[in-house]
A and B are shown apart, each in its own frame.
Chain A
Amino acid sequence: MTLFHRDGEHVVATLAPHERGLVVDLAGQVAGLLERGDRSDGAVARLLPSAYPDDAEADEEFRRWTSDDLTAHKVDGARTVVRLLGGDDEGASSVVLDDEAQQTLLRTLADLRLVLGQRLGAGPDGFPPTTDEHEATMRDVFDWLAWVQESLLQTIMR
């Protein structure tokens, strides 16, 4: 089943309502996480990484200039995805994305996967073993989001 197809300059998303609902739910959670802005949270730290890992002073200076804007842009992006995919018309079979909306969705999908990946302990060799059912489900969601992002990229880059 294809999730996206091109229509001229636009990309049409044909995710099922429950699939859109899942992205909307996660995007809302990531927006909330960023708004709380707890830098000791590993997921927040991954979304707002250090530009100068070996220079605390330069790092602090860079953050002073950029982190508010960066956080605001990411929150705006996540909230835009919530609006785009979580519109009133829940039964709608498709959502039309212009160029800006395509890029916003791509970036937000990346952020969702970064947060989930951090929570699930994703490493170069995948995930640590687990017997926890919820964790196994979230790994499926993580992989599914990769498929969504890859499908969108294939449609955009073709």
Chain B
Amino acid sequence: MTAELPDTRLRAAPDVPWTTVVWDDPVNLMTYVTHVFERYFGFSRATAETLMRRVHEQGRATVATGPREEMERHVEAMHEHGLHATVQKADE
């Protein structure tokens, strides 16, 4: 049935974005986390500090949204910097 075609295509390529989540940890310095956000993501100092504070105070912050492969590259880079980061679906 032709009516199923659009649905199938939507299921095959769902437009659900993914996110890069950075988690609070008891070791990394707040200044260091700010510097990594500023330098790696190219955020302004003010944005980087806001995100760092969100990690520190709320335990986690979403620092990027987009395709899964891109989020995995970000998470790998965060791990390279010693930050605890995970890949998650945007609606989780």
Q: Looking at A51, A58, A62, A114, which has the most chain B CB atoms within 10 Å of its CB?
A: A51
Q: Are B80 and A107 in contact (CB under 8 A)?
A: yes
Count of chain A residues near B, Cβ 8 A:
34
Q: How far is the CA of A135 from the CA of B83 in the complex (A)?
A: 25
Q: Are B86 and A50 in contact (CB under 8 A)?
A: yes
Q: Are B80 and A117 in contact (CB under 8 A)?
A: no
Chain B contact-residue range equals 20 to 34
The A-contacting residues of B in range 43-92, CB under 8 angstroms, are 45, 72, 75-76, 79-82, 84-87
Chain B residue numbers with a CB within 8 Å of A46 are 84
Q: Are A106 and B28 in contact (CB under 8 A)?
A: no
B81, closest chain A residue (CB): A107
Stretch of A11-19, A33-41, A90-98, A146-154 contacting B (4+ beta carbons < 8 Å): A146-154
Chain A residue numbers with a CB within 8 Å of B84 are 46, 49
A62, closest chain B residue (CB): B72
User: A127 → chain B, closest Cβ, in Å?
Assistant: 10
The A-contacting residues of B in range 11-34, CB under 8 angstroms, are 25-29, 31-32
